[in-house]
């Protein structure tokens, strides 16, 4: 199951465009040549550090010769443009492939090495290049380096003029191009292989990832823009000096990478600007400058390994959580009437062990008295999804539904403790205890179906019946996931914390019903739902006692009905029908004709008829057999 939307359909599009616009406008506002100089350096360092992250962060391959590859780019530019008089633009571009050749030369000795040995060989390699450059003074200028390299120009317009404006925009284009290249590489088949080798080498190899070839590709891909950035840097500072091999530039680039956050492209890019400006701000401090930089690296490594990127993600999460809390409060205060109108039922807040939840309770039945019904809603939905059931069953049953924590009008709760299926079942128990409901029939939809299975499996005899809809019982998780569900991107969306607007629309459309005036309130739930509920629910599936649910179903310990939609876009009906059930009502799943993932909403009459028959026949049989 793979879901990987292209960049223009991901959450990154808006910030990326905003960043490019800001950087493009920047020199028009700030005309100080020195500030532009710093920005040009930041562009170069961002490209080099982000490229380095491909091998170090994504690949887990500690290539300490990366700075040497940058130096190779500089010297290539110097030799081609000055010694051979090649067009400077061509020389800049040629620096990329030359650096790739050197990267391939680094890759050969480390193809089969691991861990610390990779670090040692690459350091040795980098020293080897350094020694060669030092010793070949007739070509490279030896320890004094090469000076007065040709600058970049177009039609005689020297790029350093007008406050280096030409270099500024060339650097920006270089950065954008490098980011696009790295992003595409990471998303490509090779990129997946790189990450797979890092995460589980032997599993990746056994699945057909060629270790040696992938390492070669990793290092070459990370060298391409590093070399070009080196060529551009050479054309800008117009010096190729062996000083670049020193610990200073290693520490600078490494700190950009780590402070930004390893394993991301954008972290090092952000950090390049922060660190270049910071290191310039404290430039007057002499030795203290290096000490502060080094201490910064140590502090980040020890206390904040996620770096700037991790910080951004945490801020983003905090903002999203705060926003969803605000929306929940607004729902409680302002929108309560509309909700109660929808269910024609008063809402009350009930305090559970995981915070307060909003409960709708239709109260004692007025007509013929059937068992009470507890309804559990699905992922990113709310209790009002069951409005047709409230209307149909309230006369003969006590109908109860509540918003799961993090959904609807309920509180957001501690994600680690609360946003998982067993905790939701705890909440349901608390609600039933508070309302003094005994022996209810539980109807669970999708995620709520798993909550219902978990809840009833704890004490099957305490419930009059169990009906699931939009749910596939699972035996072995996650293996059965692929069998119970059509392998579809929606399973990924169901666990994705931050959905884009397009994803929300798509997911809401297929998980509930397509957008219409009637279903608009279900679509609005995505703005309110705490995104962490999706992420934690999916990642904590393993804390559920799945075999216990299956044992209950196999033993027929509870009257059980499957009321899926016949046209459910996610479920694999053959798998569900083939499971061993001890007592399945009617002996087979009762699929609702033309019902989608929420058949009780899009085909309420057919669903209610079936559910009503289950309430009368299925659950009554149990009472008579007692």
Which residue ranges make up the site for other proteins (CB under 8 A)?
56, 60, 62, 108-109, 113, 115-117, 119-121, 123-125, 127-128, 131-132, 134-135, 247, 250-251, 254-255, 258, 287-288, 290-291, 293-295, 297-298, 301-302, 305
Q: Which of 556, 585, 545, 549 is nearest to 457 (CA)?
A: 549
- Tell the smallest beta-carbon distance from residue 41 to other proteins (Å): 20
- Tell the smallest beta-carbon distance from residue 131 to other proteins (Å): 4
Of the two residues 118 and 558, which places its CB atom closer to other proteins in the complex? 118
Q: What is the DSSP string of 233-253?
A: HHHHH--B-GGGGSHHHHHHH
Buried b (16+ CB within 10 A) or exposed e, 503-539: bbeebbbbbbbeeeeebebbbebbebbbbbbbbbbbe
- Tell the smallest beta-carbon distance from residue 392 to other proteins (Å): 55
- Tell the smallest beta-carbon distance from residue 464 to other proteins (Å): 50
Answer whether 249's CB lies under 8 Å from 233's CB.
no
Answer whether 469's CB lies under 8 Å from 443's CB.
yes
- Tell the smallest beta-carbon distance from residue 256 to other proteins (Å): 12
- Tell the smallest beta-carbon distance from residue 62 to other proteins (Å): 6
Packing angle of the helix pair 247-260, 66-77 (nearest 10 deg): 120
Of the two residues 112 and 158, which places its CB atom closer to other proteins in the complex? 112
Packing angle of the helix pair 247-260, 33-53 (nearest 10 deg): 80
- Tell the smallest beta-carbon distance from residue 477 to other proteins (Å): 25
CB under 8 Å to 606, separation ≥6 — which residues? 592, 593, 594, 595, 599
From the CA atom positions of the chain, what is the Rg in Å? 31
- Tell the smallest beta-carbon distance from residue 309 to other proteins (Å): 16
Of the two residues 85 and 115, which places its CB atom closer to other proteins in the complex? 115
Of the two residues 134 and 160, which places its CB atom closer to other proteins in the complex? 134
- Tell the smallest beta-carbon distance from residue 242 to other proteins (Å): 13
Buried b (16+ CB within 10 A) or exposed e, 581-615: bebbbeeebbbbeebbbbbbbbbbebbbebbbebb
Q: What is the DSSP string of 403-471?
A: PPTTSTTSPP--HHHHSSHHHHHHHHHHHHHHHT--S-EEEEETHHHHHHHHHHHH-GGG-SEEEEES-
Report the Cα 536 to chain-centroid distance in Å. 12
- Tell the smallest beta-carbon distance from residue 214 to other proteins (Å): 19
Of the two residues 160 and 292, which places its CB atom closer to other proteins in the complex? 292
Of the two residues 252 and 269, which places its CB atom closer to other proteins in the complex? 252
Of the two residues 299 and 338, which places its CB atom closer to other proteins in the complex? 299
For the beta carbon of residue 106, count every other beta carbon within 10 angstroms: 27
Of the two residues 264 and 362, which places its CB atom closer to other proteins in the complex? 264
Distance CA(392)–CA(117), nearest Å, equals 71
Of the two residues 62 and 354, which places its CB atom closer to other proteins in the complex? 62
Distance CA(480)–CA(225), nearest Å, equals 43
Distance CA(403)–CA(412), nearest Å, equals 11
Of the two residues 120 and 437, which places its CB atom closer to other proteins in the complex? 120
């Amino acid at each position: 199951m793979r879901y990987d939307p292209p960049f223009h359909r991901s959450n990154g599009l808006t910030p990326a465009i905003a960043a490019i616009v800001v950087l493009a406008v920047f020199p028009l506002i700030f005309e100080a040549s020195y500030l532009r100089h710093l920005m040009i350096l930041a562009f170069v360092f961002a490209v080099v550090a982000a490229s380095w992250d491909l091998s170090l962060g994504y690949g887990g391959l500690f290539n300490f010769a990366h700075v040497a590859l940058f130096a190779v780019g500089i010297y290539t530019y110097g030799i081609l443009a000055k010694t051979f008089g090649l067009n400077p633009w061509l020389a800049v571009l040629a620096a990329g492939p030359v650096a790739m050749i050197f990267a391939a030369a680094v890759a050969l000795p480390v193809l089969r090495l691991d861990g610390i040995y990779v670090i040692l060989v690459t350091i040795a390699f980098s020293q080897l290049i350094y020694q060669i450059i030092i010793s070949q003074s007739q070509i490279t200028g030896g320890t004094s380096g090469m000076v007065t390299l040709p600058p970049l120009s177009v039609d005689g317009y020297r790029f350093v003029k007008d406050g280096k404006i030409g270099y500024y925009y060339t650097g920006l284009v270089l950065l954008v191009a490098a980011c696009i290249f790295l992003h595409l590489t990471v998303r490509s088949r090779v990129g997946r292989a790189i990450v797979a080798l890092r995460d589980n080498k032997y599993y990746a190899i056994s699945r057909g990832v060629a270790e040696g070839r992938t390492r070669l590709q990793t290092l070459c891909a990370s060298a391409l823009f590093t070399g070009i950035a080196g060529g551009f840097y050479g054309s800008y500072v117009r010096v190729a000096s062996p000083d670049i091999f020193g610990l200073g530039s290693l520490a600078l680039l490494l700190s950009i990478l780590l402070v930004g956050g390893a394993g991301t492209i954008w972290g090092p890019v952000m950090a390049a600007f922060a660190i270049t400006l910071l290191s310039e701000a404290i430039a007057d401090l002499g030795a203290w400058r290096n000490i502060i930089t080094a201490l910064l690296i140590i502090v980040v490594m020890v206390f904040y390994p996620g770096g700037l990127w991790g910080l951004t993600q945490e801020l983003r999460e905090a903002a999203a959580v705060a926003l969803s809390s605000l929306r929940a409060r607004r729902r409680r205060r302002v929108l309560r009437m509309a909700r109660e109108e929808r269910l024609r039922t008063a809402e009350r807040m009930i305090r559970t062990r995981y915070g307060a939840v909003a409960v709708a309770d239709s109260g004692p039945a007025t007509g013929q008295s059937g068992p009470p019904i507890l309804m559990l809603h699905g992922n990113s939905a709310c209790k009002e999804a069951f409005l047709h059931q409230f209307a149909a069953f309230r006369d003969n049953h006590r109908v109860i539904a509540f918003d799961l924590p993090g959904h609807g009008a309920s509180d957001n709760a501690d994600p680690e403790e609360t946003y998982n299926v067993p905790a939701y079942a705890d909440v349901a128990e608390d609600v039933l205890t508070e309302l003094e409901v005994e022996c209810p029939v539980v109807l669970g939809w999708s995620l709520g179906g798993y909550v219902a299975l978990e809840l009833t499996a704890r004490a099957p005899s305490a419930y009059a019946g169990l009906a699931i809809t939009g749910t596939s019982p699972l035996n072995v998780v996650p293996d059965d996931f692929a069998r119970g569900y059509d392998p579809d991107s929606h399973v990924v969306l169901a666990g994705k914390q931050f959905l884009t607007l397009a994803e929300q629309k798509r997911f809401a459309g297929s998980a509930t019903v397509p957008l219409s005036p009637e279903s608009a309130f279900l679509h609005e739930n995505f703005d309110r739902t705490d995104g962490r509920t999706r992420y934690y629910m999916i990642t904590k599936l393993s804390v559920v006692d799945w075999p216990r649910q299956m044992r209950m179903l196999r033993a027929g310990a509870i009257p059980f009905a499957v009321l899926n939609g016949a046209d459910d876009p996610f479920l694999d009906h053959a798998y569900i029908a083939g499971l061993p059930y001890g007592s399945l009502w009617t002996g087979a799943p009762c699929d609702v004709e033309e019902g989608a993932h929420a058949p009780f909403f899009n085909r309420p009459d057919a669903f209610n008829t079936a559910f009503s028959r289950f309430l009368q026949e299925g659950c009554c049989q149990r009472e008579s057999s007692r």
